[in-house]
């Protein structure tokens, strides 16, 4: 049951209006989900971009569908004469829905009753992230209806290639730097609750360095043009062996990373975040066991458990083999001496590693250990980003969750990677992802969000807009707005 | 130019008859090649087996097409009342000919003029090995026509699954042990000349131990059911790393094998073979450079050259990665923490290694180095085989080559593997592969044998039958028959 404790007086009519209009809002969100907008095929992309632009115009804003070499980015602004401005980041593209075992049409946005969760909208994009995007527009519309105008101005940058790596988003931001720098905070609206109703808040993301290591036959040895008869390995060196030997110098048997300079710059968790983490693990709010169960993992590295496990996840980099391939990989006993072998590797960086220096350190390590012929090709590289717990945007979200009766998990870093450095570093603006609400099965069959969760989401967005403005303008303290460090 | 020096008197009419009948023989061989006999599809298998049986019956022998769980084996005998008996091993199956770039119909056996080589028959199976098999039958027929009967009795075991690993041949031999043990020698007729006209003689084959090493997530760590999000490698061990670390303990950076007990039993080359090898390398008869050029290899292991290189190839085992695979192996930057990784590995064993003990040594090594969770699955295992230079069957072939003006390369071991232990160990009968003649491009487009080479082959087979009988019956010395240790 939701506790609606401590609703500031100006918000009361807004929340009431959200409740009154919710059935209509739900229909509008479902309608939005019924137009496909598939990154990889382009199906429905243009139409959906226009729909997003229309949402912005319906709020009284200006919107443009800005072409890129890929899918367009919807750029918009809604001036409310407020002192503070929030940049709303979002995505209108989705993955394909070609899995054969959807229980309903993925583009019908039908409502079904889910066990334990109640009514839910099932659709591709329900949670990731056309559902929360459309619901955010509805929350803003209700806010305007009830209060006349919003407590902040809004800017919009809604991209259509997130599922393909956001490849034209950074150039877009760089080209629109003057306008976007007017923002005081960035918001990425999202349904942040898990199945138990616990929302989570991440204070940054790890960066990524993704590279390939390839060993081919050459002057050092090995066949240079094609695989040769396997029986000649008595004579001829094997690039697969060479790659294995090179890789094996990078980590020890426990996967401890052995590359000199790899950890340069790594900072421990901020004391306050570490203290919160310890309390959250001790209270059971953060528990690694459900993750292990879901991913079918019986033991963490080094037998880690509890606080030490979480601390590692949130503060340590990794060096992961994503894939390795070489030679004959089919059934049976075909013999071959391959002429090449390839590994795909990712490093997740943490504050304050320099990803370019990490790449250099790995190259230096390979050379020093006698593997100059192993080629290293960097395919993707961008830095970590980190947002302080003290930022108004963050505190407003934490306060909103707590005022609505939820104690959020606080994740000092998202262990995955997202190019949010574009906000923190390029724009120099703090960002926050969030909102109540629950959905799941992104990139899978029967993706959904819960109907009850969407209502909570709309209310939480209204509360966040209100709280953020009040905090940023110095009109209220976070404690007044409901947050207590848990 | 062929030197027909030193033709024993009884052979002279045989060779004359072969020359007279050659055009007819060529047509019969071409006719045989026009019926496909494709292992993998079964196309033409039964008809070709019947054709082989008919060849035997046309010589006056008895033949049966013996069913197996796979393709039949043609079993036959031709009793000539001779003191000695030769088992003719052969294969009537071929690879598919579905490569798109054949210059002629692979089943038409057309004759074309090849640069430097002259007239050649182009067909799937031309050299591997329906061409020499059919030509052998023609040589035997001409021998009978000229001499009344052969100097030896013949047994036949011609299989139809060589291209699929001879999987029913060993059981066939075991079931027909009493009959086949009557043989004093085994002959596998083959066109043994290279493009320069140099025949080679191998005195055995390496054995093989082919196994997979697989690492899956389990109690030790790693995801157990499916790949998980790559960003969890900070927490969860990676089976691909584990496999890489396990593999890397098996060899050093120069691929020197580090497995305790691996080399147990390895014997150096017999002194006489080593002396011959040294002379053949010094004279330029054996030269690694054309092999390196053909296979696009710029450097042998450890910079080996000349005699030391050949000695290694012929006397040392190997531990080769045939293939390795795990995780995401496509284009781009997909991240994944895979739940399994697999390597396919072959060991080529030399006298007198015990392949079962090698497999045990590798398992023990993995356990001792802390990788008990890396599963080892043996897919194929059979021993090396070795035939002495002193065997009459071998000496008769060497004498034949030299009497016909060729100095053969002598390979103490075939670096590849073939299950000829079935002859040497199960039957206890020495075997020899050979015959003059030249063909190439087996398993490829435009497979061929040269017309002139087929004539030499028929004569060489007649000479071998005569010489073998004379040596085995103690009627002549090898020197009398033309061989001088070169």
Average pLDDT over all residues of chain A: 95
Residue ending a domain, choose from A351, A382, A413: A382
Q: Answer whether residue A240 is part of any domain.
A: yes
The residue among A188, A179, A171 whose CA lies nearest residue A133 is: A188
Q: Answer whether residue A69 is part of any domain.
A: yes
A231 contacts on B by Cβ (under 8 Å): 206, 318, 348, 414-417
To the nearest whole Å, the CA of B250 is away from the closest chain A CA by 10
A240 contacts on B by Cβ (under 8 Å): 321, 323-324
pLDDT at residue B1, rounded to an integer: 36
> Are B297 and A247 within 8 A, CB to CB?
no
Same domain, A174 and A110: yes
The residue among A310, A308, A304, A303 whose CA lies nearest residue A286 is: A310
- Phi and psi at A356, nearest 5°, equal -65, -40
pLDDT at residue B482, rounded to an integer: 65
Of A210, A229, A297, the CB nearest to B333: A210
Q: What is the CA radius of gyration of chain B?
A: 25
- State the pLDDT confidence band at B310, using cuts at 50, 70 and 90: very high
Q: Answer whether residue A301 is part of any domain.
A: no
ipTM: 0.91
pLDDT at residue A2, rounded to an integer: 45
Same domain, B54 and B104: yes
To the nearest whole Å, the CA of B323 is away from the closest chain A CA by 4
- Please, are residues B127 and B106 in contact by the beta-carbon 8 Å criterion? no
> Are A329 and B332 within 8 A, CB to CB?
no
- Phi and psi at B199, nearest 5°, equal -80, 160
Q: Answer whether residue B451 is part of any domain.
A: yes
B322 contacts on A by Cβ (under 8 Å): 230, 327-328, 334-338
B318 contacts on A by Cβ (under 8 Å): 231, 233-234
The residue among A481, A484, A397 whose CA lies nearest residue A86 is: A397
Q: What is the pLDDT of residues A337-347, one digit of tens each?
A: 999 999 999 99
Same domain, B189 and B214: no
Q: Which residues contact B142 (CB under 8 A, 6 or more apart)?
A: B14, B17, B18, B21, B25, B458, B462
- State the pLDDT confidence band at A333, using cuts at 50, 70 and 90: confident
Q: A249-253, B165-169, B238-242: lowest mean pLDDT where?
A: B165-169
A214 contacts on B by Cβ (under 8 Å): none
Q: Which residue has the tokens 């929360």?
A: A132
Q: What is the pLDDT of residues A283-325, one digit of tens each?
A: 999 999 999 999 999 999 999 999 999 999 999 999 999 999 9
Same domain, A122 and A50: yes
Of A316, A323, A370, the CB nearest to B329: A323
> Are B344 and A324 within 8 A, CB to CB?
no
DSSP secondary structure string for all residues of B370-386:
T-TTSEEEEEEEE--EE
Of B228, B335, B415, the CB nearest to A234: B415
> Are B337 and A325 within 8 A, CB to CB?
no
Same domain, A230 and A367: yes
- Please, are residues A80 and A153 in contact by the beta-carbon 8 Å criterion? yes
pLDDT at residue B244, rounded to an integer: 98
- Name which of A166, A227, A233, A378 to mutate to probe chain B: the one with the most chain B Cβ atoms within 10 A of its Cβ: A233
Q: For chain A, what is the domain count?
A: 2
- Please, are residues A429 and A4 in contact by the beta-carbon 8 Å criterion? no
pLDDT at residue A102, rounded to an integer: 95
Q: How far apart are CA B406 and CA B453, in angstroms?
A: 13
Element (H, E) at A363: helix A355-368
> Are B235 and A309 within 8 A, CB to CB?
yes
- Please, are residues A112 and A120 in contact by the beta-carbon 8 Å criterion? yes
3-state secondary structure of A456: helix
Q: How far apart are CA B134 and CA B179, in angstroms?
A: 24
**B4 has pLDDT over 60:** no
Q: Answer whether residue A479 is part of any domain.
A: no
Q: What is the 3-state secondary structure (H, E, C) of A246-302?
A: HHHCCECCCCCECCCCCCCCCCCCCHHHHHHHHHHHHCCCCCHHHHHHHCCECCCHH
Return the residue of A nearest to B205 by Cα.
A231
Return the residue of B nearest to A228 by Cα.
B295
Return the residue of A nearest to B347 by Cα.
A231
pLDDT at residue B143, rounded to an integer: 98
> Are A253 and B245 within 8 A, CB to CB?
yes
- Please, are residues A300 and A288 in contact by the beta-carbon 8 Å criterion? yes
> Which of A217-235 are b and which e, b meaning 16 or more Cβ less than 10 Å from the residue's Cβ?
bbebbbbbeebbebbbbbb
Residue ending a domain, choose from A342, A360, A382: A382
Q: Which residues contact B425 (CB under 8 A, 6 or more apart)?
A: B383, B385
- Name which of A222, A322, A330 to mutate to probe chain B: the one with the most chain B Cβ atoms within 10 A of its Cβ: A322
Average pLDDT (A347-358) is 97
Residues paired with residue A401 on neighbouring β-strands, in sequence order: none
- Please, are residues B67 and B110 in contact by the beta-carbon 8 Å criterion? no
Average pLDDT (B300-320) is 97
Provide, rounded to the nearest whole percent, the portion of chain B with pLDDT above 70. Answer: 98
Q: Answer whether residue A114 is part of any domain.
A: yes
Same domain, A119 and A170: yes
Q: Which residue has the tokens 């950074």?
A: A170
- Name which of B238, B335, B367 to mutate to probe chain A: the one with the most chain A Cβ atoms within 10 A of its Cβ: B335
Q: Answer whether residue A168 is part of any domain.
A: yes
Same domain, B113 and B241: no
Q: What is the pLDDT of residues A96-121, one digit of tens each?
A: 998 888 999 999 999 999 999 999 99
- Phi and psi at B336, nearest 5°, equal -160, 145
> Are A240 and B324 within 8 A, CB to CB?
yes
> Are A324 and B240 within 8 A, CB to CB?
yes
**A174 has pLDDT over 50:** yes
Same domain, B231 and B142: no
Q: A127-131, A203-207, B209-213, B442-446: lowest mean pLDDT where?
A: B442-446
Same domain, A182 and A223: no
> Are B251 and A245 within 8 A, CB to CB?
yes
Q: How far apart are CA B260 and CA B258, in angstroms?
A: 6
Q: What is the pLDDT of residues A443-481, one digit of tens each?
A: 889 999 999 999 999 999 999 999 999 999 999 887 777
Same domain, A121 and A150: yes
- State the pLDDT confidence band at B26, using cuts at 50, 70 and 90: very high
The residue among A484, A479, A473 whose CA lies nearest residue A153 is: A473
A237 contacts on B by Cβ (under 8 Å): 254-255, 299, 301
Q: What is the pLDDT of residues B47-88, one digit of tens each?
A: 999 999 999 999 999 999 999 999 999 999 999 999 999 999
> Are A324 and B320 within 8 A, CB to CB?
no
Provide, rounded to the nearest whole percent, the portion of chain A with pLDDT above 90. Answer: 91
Same domain, A376 and A412: no
Domain at A348, CATH number: 3.30.70.360
> Are B236 and A333 within 8 A, CB to CB?
no
**A1 has pLDDT over 60:** no
- Name which of B231, B251, B332 to mutate to probe chain A: the one with the most chain A Cβ atoms within 10 A of its Cβ: B231
Average pLDDT (B263-292) is 96
Domain at A119, CATH number: 3.40.630.10
To the nearest whole Å, the CA of A302 is away from the closest chain B CA by 9
pLDDT at residue A482, rounded to an integer: 65
> Are B370 and A253 within 8 A, CB to CB?
yes
Q: Which one is predicted more confidently, B173 or B416?
A: B173
Return the residue of B nearest to A329 by Cα.
B323
Same domain, A354 and A435: no
Q: Which one is predicted more confidently, B337 or B164?
A: B337
Of B323, B338, B346, the CB nearest to A323: B338
- Name which of B216, B324, B339, B379 to mutate to probe chain A: the one with the most chain A Cβ atoms within 10 A of its Cβ: B324
* Pairing outcome for strands B185-189 and B431-434: parallel
Name the residue range of residue A36's domain: 9-203+387-472
Residues paired with residue B409 on neighbouring β-strands, in sequence order: B200
To the nearest whole Å, the CA of A23 is away from the closest chain B CA by 36
Could you check whether the bond before residue B241 is cis, i.e. omega within 30 degrees of 0? no
Q: A186-190, A262-266, B161-165, B171-175: lowest mean pLDDT where?
A: B161-165
Residue A94 DSSP label: B
To the nearest whole Å, the CA of B166 is away from the closest chain A CA by 13
Question: A115 exposed, middle or buried (CB, 10 Å; 0-12, 13-18, 19+)?
Answer: exposed
Average pLDDT (A391-402) is 95
pLDDT at residue B334, rounded to an integer: 86
Q: How far apart are CA A267 and CA B223, in angstroms?
A: 29
Element (H, E) at B206: strand B204-216
To the nearest whole Å, the CA of B278 is away from the closest chain A CA by 17
> What pTM was computed for the model?
0.90
3-state secondary structure of B120: strand
As given in the structure block, the two tokens for residue B76 are 């036959």
Q: How far apart are CA B121 and CA A330, in angstroms?
A: 34
Q: Answer whether residue B290 is part of any domain.
A: no
Average pLDDT (A432-441) is 96
Return the residue of B nearest to A221 by Cα.
B299
Q: What is the pLDDT of residues B219-260, one digit of tens each?
A: 999 999 999 999 999 999 999 999 999 999 999 999 999 999
As given in the structure block, the two tokens for residue A89 are 């980041």
The strands making up B439-440's β-sheet, listed across from edge to edge, are B110-114, B118-122, B448-450, B439-440
**A485 has pLDDT over 60:** no
Residue ending a domain, choose from A382, A417, A435: A382
């Amino acid at each position: 049951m939701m506790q609606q404790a401590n609703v500031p007086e100006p918000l009361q009519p807004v929340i009431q209006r959200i409740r009154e209009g919710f059935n209509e809002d739900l229909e509008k969100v479902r309608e939005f989900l019924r137009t496909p907008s598939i990154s990889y095929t382009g199906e429905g992309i243009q139409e959906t971009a226009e729909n997003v632009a229309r949402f912005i115009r319906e709020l009284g804003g200006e919107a443009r569908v800005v072409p890129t070499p890929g899918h367009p980015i919807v750029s918009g602004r809604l001036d409310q004469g407020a002192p503070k401005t929030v940049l709303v980041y979002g995505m209108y593209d989705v993955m394909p829905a070609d899995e054969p075992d959807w229980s309903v049409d993925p583009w019908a946005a039908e409502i079904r009753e889910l066990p334990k969760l109640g009514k839910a909208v099932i659709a591709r994009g329900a949670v990731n992230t056309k559902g929360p995007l459309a619901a955010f527009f509805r929350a803003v519309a209700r806010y305007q209806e009830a209060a006349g105008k919003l407590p902040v101005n809004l800017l919009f940058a809604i991209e259509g290639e997130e599922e393909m790596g956001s490849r034209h988003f950074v150039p877009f931001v760089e080209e629109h730097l003057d306008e976007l720098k007017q923002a005081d905070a960035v918001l990425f609206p999202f349904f942040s609750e898990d199945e138990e109703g616990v929302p989570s808040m991440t204070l940054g993301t790890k960066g990524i360095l993704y590279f390939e290591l390839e060993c081919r036959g050459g002057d050092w040895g090995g066949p240079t043009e094609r695989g040769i008869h396997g029986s000649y390995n008595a004579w001829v060196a094997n690039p697969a062996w060479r790659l294995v030997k090179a890789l094996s110098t990078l980590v020890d048997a426990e996967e401890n990373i052995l590359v000199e300079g790899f950890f340069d710059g790594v900072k421990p968790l901020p004391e306050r975040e570490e203290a919160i983490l310890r309390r959250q693990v001790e209270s059971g709010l953060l528990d690694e066991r459900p993750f292990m169960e879901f991913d079918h993992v019986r033991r963490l590295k080094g037998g880690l458990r509890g606080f030490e496990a979480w601390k590692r996840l949130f503060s340590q980099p990794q060096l992961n083999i994503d894939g390795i391939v070489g030679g004959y990989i089919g059934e049976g006993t075909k013999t071959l001496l391959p002429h090449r072998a390839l590994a795909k590797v990712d490093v997740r960086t943490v504050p304050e590693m320099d990803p370019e220096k990490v790449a250099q350190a790995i190259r230096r390590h390979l050379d020093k250990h006698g593997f100059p012929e192993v080629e290293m090709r960097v395919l993707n590289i961008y830095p970590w980003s980190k947002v302080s717990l003290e930022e108004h945007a963050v505190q407003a979200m934490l306060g909103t969750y707590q005022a609505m009766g939820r104690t959020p998990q606080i994740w000092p870093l998202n262990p995955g990677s997202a190019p949010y450095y574009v906000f923190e570093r390029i724009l120099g603006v703090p960002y926050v992802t969030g909102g109540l609400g629950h959905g799941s099965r992104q990139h899978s069959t029967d993706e959904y969000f819960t109907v009850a969760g969407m209502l909570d989401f709309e209310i939480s967005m209204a509360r966040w807009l209100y709280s953020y403005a009040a905090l940023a303008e110095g009109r209220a303290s976070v404690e007044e707005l409901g947050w207590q460090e848990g």
